[in-house]
Each structure stands twice: as structure tokens, then as C-alpha cells.
Amino acid sequence: DGGITQSPKYLFRKEGQNVTLSCEQNLNHDAMYWYRQDPGQGLRLIYYSQIVNDFQKGDIAEGYSVSREKKESFPLTVTSAQKNPTAFYLCATESGANVLTFGAGSRLTVL
Amino acid sequence: AQSVTQLDSQVPVFEEAPVELRCNYSSSVSVYLFWYVQYPNQGLQLLLKYLSGSTLVESINGFEAEFNKSQTSFHLRKPSVHISDTAEYFCAVSEGGTGKLIFGQGTTLQVKP
């Protein structure tokens, strides 16, 4: 089945550690997105990539980094510079006409 | 800058009653409008979208939304809700060109028996 796989589903991190969230898709979509979700704040765009080897900062990119070496993969690294990383992270692809398909999400908790 | 306002953070309603979830947006250009639904600890699923044409759009599970350009609104309605409709609903807007959607804060629909 075509879809988006995010892993891990739950992740715990100690302060000062970098962590990487995986996002893999087999939908053959060019554009991929990372959103952060916090209670009562909706979703905010972290980074997006419209084509391999290219990506752009979203509204809250500070403390995060991404890469896009393959069409299928768009990993997100939460660095120690991100001061409040505890959140639900959602990866999405675009199928055209701005319609997004989302993965199941990864929940990051900082201990 | 674009923004989306969902006017109610929580909407409690009894089963089989009608419901309306309100959404207003600000934009000076043509937009695409979306409603997404999120069940607990899951990703978002597209419920319905307005891209062009008829201002009334419908989903397969009985929801509908009407694009009102003069009032810059895209309210979501259902004439009779079920327990299974309990979820969080997000309104989103895009100016086109990319999938950079701007999301509202979300409305939690709580359907009571």
C-alpha cells in the first residue's frame, strides 16, 4: 500500500541530545513537509522540500535541520538548540493542488 | 500575512444533533481551503477541500462546507453527528503554488450519547 511511514512513533530525549525523526514515502510525490503540533496551536511548518537536494525553511525552522538526498526520504533532526522540543511531529507529502497526505506522527518528549 | 481562525476550541454536541464548526481566514488573493480531521495520536486526514467551482463541497461521510468569499469563511457542517465523529478538526488555507498550508488552532468536536 502507498503511504507515509514515520518512525519512531514515540521518542524520549535527554536535554542536550540531538534526535532524528524518520519520514519515508512510497507515493512518488515530489514535495514533502514537516509540521510541529502543540496543543491549542494547530500545526506550524518547520521545513519543506519541493524537490530532491533542495529544501526551504518554514515558519519555525530554528533548532531543526533536514536533508533530502532521496525522493522517498525527508528526515528531520531536532537539535539541542531547539529550546522546547516536546511536541507531536507530522510529516506530509503533497499530491497536487496543495492536498497534503500526512503520516501517523512522531511524539517527542524531552526528559 | 495569511491567517486562519477557528472560532471555537471545543464544541460539545449530542449524538444525532446538527453541528457547525466555524472557520474564518484572511487573505487578499484567491485561496484553496481545506478541512482535515485528526483522531487521537494519529496524523491528519483530508475531510474536504475547496479549490474552485461550486462553493458548496461535500465529504463522503456527510460533512459539508461552504466557501463564502465575501465573509472569508469556510464553515464545516453536518446535519446529524455520530459518536464516531468525535475528533479534532482543522481548517487550513493555501494561496496556491505550494503545499504551505496555514492551519487554524483546531476545534475539538465532542459527541455525547
Query: Over B9-59, what HEC string results?
Result: CEEEEECCCCEEECEEEECCCCCEEEEEEECCCCCEEEEEEECCCCCEEEC
CB-based contact, A102 to chain B, within 8 Å? yes
- Contact list in B for residue A35 (CB cut-off 8 A) is 103
pLDDT tens by residue, A25-49: 999 999 999 999 998 888 999 999 9
**Cβ A98–B44 below 8 Å, yes or no?**
no
Q: State yes or no: cis peptide before A8, omega within 30 of 0.
A: yes
Sign of CA dihedral A100, A104, A106, A107: positive
Cell output for A26: 512510497
B interface with A, Cβ–Cβ < 8 A, is 4, 9, 32, 34, 36, 41-46, 49, 51, 90, 94, 96, 98-101, 103-106
If we measure between CA atoms, which residue out of B87, B92, B90 comes closest to residue B34? B92
Expressed in angstroms, the distance from the first to the final Cα of chain A is: 36
Which of A9, A43, A49, A102 should be substituted to probe chain B, the one whose Cβ sees the most B Cβ atoms within 10 Å? A43
Give the tens place of pLDDT for each residue, B10-40.
999 999 999 999 999 987 677 899 999 999 8
| Residue type, position A14, single letter | K
CA distance B24 to chain A (A): 14
Cβ neighbours for B1, distance < 8 A, ≥ 6 positions apart:
none
* C-alpha distances out from residue B103 to A21, A102, B20, B92, Å: 22, 14, 18, 4
Q: Within a 10 A sphere around the Cβ of A16, how many other Cβ atoms?
A: 8
A 10 A CB-CB count for A44 gives: 16
Mutate which of B51, B89, B98 to test chain A, going by most A C-beta atoms within 10 A?
B98
**B106/A42 CB distance under 8 A:** yes
Would you call B46 and A101 a contact, using CB atoms and an 8 Å cutoff?
A: yes
DSSP state of B101: P
Tell me the chain B residues in contact with residue A87 when contact means C-beta distances shorter than 8 Å.
Answer: none
- Please state, in angstroms and rounded to a whole number, the distance separating the CA atoms of residues A68 and A50: 10
Q: Chain A partners of B36 at a C-beta cutoff of 8 Å?
A: 102
**Which pLDDT value is given to residue A105?**
95
Which three cell numbers, joined as nine digits, stand for B65?
462546507
| pLDDT tens sequence for chain A (111 residues) | 669 999 999 999 888 899 999 999 999 999 999 999 998 888 999 999 999 999 999 999 999 999 999 999 999 999 988 889 999 999 999 987 788 999 999 999 998
Of all residues in chain B, the percent with pLDDT exceeding 90 is 67
Q: What digits encode the pLDDT tens for the residues B84-113?
A: 999 999 999 987 666 789 999 999 999 999
DSSP A33: E
